[in-house]
Amino acid sequence: MRIGLSINYTDGFKEVAAEVADLERAGLDIVFVPEAYSFDAPSALGYLAAKTERVQLASGIMQLYTRTPTLTAMTAAGLDYVSDGRFILGLGASGPQVIEGFHGVKYDAPIGRTREVLEICRKVWRRERLEYQGKHYTVPLPEGEGTGLGKALKLINHPVRENIPVLLAALGPKNVELAAELAEGWQPIFFLPEKADSVWGESVKAGLAKRDPKLGDLEVYAGPALAIGDNVEPLREFVKPHLALYIGGMGAKGKNFYHTLATKYGYGAEADRIQELFLAGKKEEAAKAVPDDLVRDVCLIGSAGFVKERVAAFREAGVTALNVVPLAGTAAERVQLIEQLRAICD
């Protein structure tokens, strides 16, 4: 099983790059660079490409609505070039709170737009003259919608690879089905191995039934928090505010994808309570309302034996990569955690 890690570059790219180089030597396979409403992901990814040698570099995630499809393709091709073919394009729709609240772009038709963006990206990477007419994107713009002067073009550069791996962050049934059909990888959130098949199984099967064999097997990336030791269970409390933020605060009542997921996991009453408290501004109480069992099962926090058992459960549920969040205060401690997990996964 491969091991990934999402970086936090609020302290600066140089400091993070030095740590990633150490993590690479410790056995890390993939580095994910987030892009919420912070610095853009490509800047950090390009910097990391120059400072690393082996580790794969993934956007985790670039938001669907914030770039044109062709710019997304150009950016991916550029990052694949500077990293000598180590880039993974992580894409996702994000949510209305970020897309409309920070970017001022209408959040609409995420499934249809995802399909069209992927189709356009792959045409660009194959250096086809780009002529595309979809429901959401038309390239070039036809006369009447533009000046009529736009002509079909193809990418000037020759990409390192014409098939850059695409990873889709997907949560809802139709989004997950799309990921299983069209992407090399799928990244769910708050993956609970024992409940994954009942929540997503039918969607994955439906997507795989339409999948092009050339894409290979579907990679599944889970994102558990990580702490290994004999007395680390209290660290599970640090995960609760994060879960409460998503279950309670990422959307209004009836429009929160993460609340729906917790409900499908069997925590409907608890999810309602978390949301009620969070939306009332009682964030600490909302965090305390997050069930202990939920935190335990979506994380890798415990003794080496416990973590080994949970890694086996993730593997049994189809996970091929663990994009972990190390609960450690220093770079040296994070490196040690990756070394420990590498030994467990091997």
CATH at 109: 3.20.20.30
Note whether 294 and 252 are same-domain residues: yes
Between helix 41-51 and helix 69-82 the angle, nearest 10°, is 20
Query: Of the candidates 259, 178, 146, 166, which has an alpha carbon nearest to the alpha carbon of residue 216?
Result: 166
99 token code pair: 């897309």
What's the CA gap between 97 and 150, in Å, rounded?
Answer: 34
What's the CA gap between 279 and 237, in Å, rounded?
Answer: 20
The mean per-residue pLDDT over the stretch 270-291 comes to 98
171 token code pair: 């949560």
Note whether 194 and 93 are same-domain residues: yes
Note whether 201 and 284 are same-domain residues: no
48 token code pair: 């990391």
Q: How many domains does the chain have?
A: 2
The per-residue pLDDT for 94 is: 87
Note whether 271 and 183 are same-domain residues: no
The per-residue pLDDT for 14 is: 85
Note whether 204 and 312 are same-domain residues: yes
Range of the domain at 33: 2-225+302-345
Note whether 260 and 276 are same-domain residues: yes
- Coil, strand or helix: which one is 168? strand
Does residue 79 have a pLDDT over 90? yes
Place of tokens 């890390």: 28
Note whether 201 and 85 are same-domain residues: yes
pLDDT band at 240 (very low <50, low <70, confident <90, very high): very high
Note whether 149 and 286 are same-domain residues: no
The mean per-residue pLDDT over the stretch 88-116 comes to 93
What's the CA gap between 108 and 95, in Å, rounded?
Answer: 10
- pLDDT tens digits, one per residue of 215-239: 999 999 999 999 999 999 999 999 9
The per-residue pLDDT for 250 is: 86
Give exposure, 87-115, as e/b (b: 16+ Cβ within 10 Å): bbbbbbbbbbbbbeeeeeeebeebeebbb
CA dihedral 284, 285, 290, 291 (to 10 degrees): 130
Note whether 101 and 205 are same-domain residues: yes
- The values of phi and psi at residue 212, to 5°, are -75, 125
Most distant pair of Cα atoms in the chain: their distance: 68
The mean per-residue pLDDT over the stretch 161-187 comes to 96
Place of tokens 């990293």: 83
Note whether 115 and 42 are same-domain residues: yes
The DSSP call for residue 317 is T
What's the CA gap between 300 and 309, in Å, rounded?
Answer: 9
The per-residue pLDDT for 11 is: 67
What's the CA gap between 80 and 159, in Å, rounded?
Answer: 8
Note whether 117 and 239 are same-domain residues: no
The mean per-residue pLDDT over the stretch 148-155 comes to 93
> Model pTM?
0.92
Note whether 141 and 111 are same-domain residues: yes
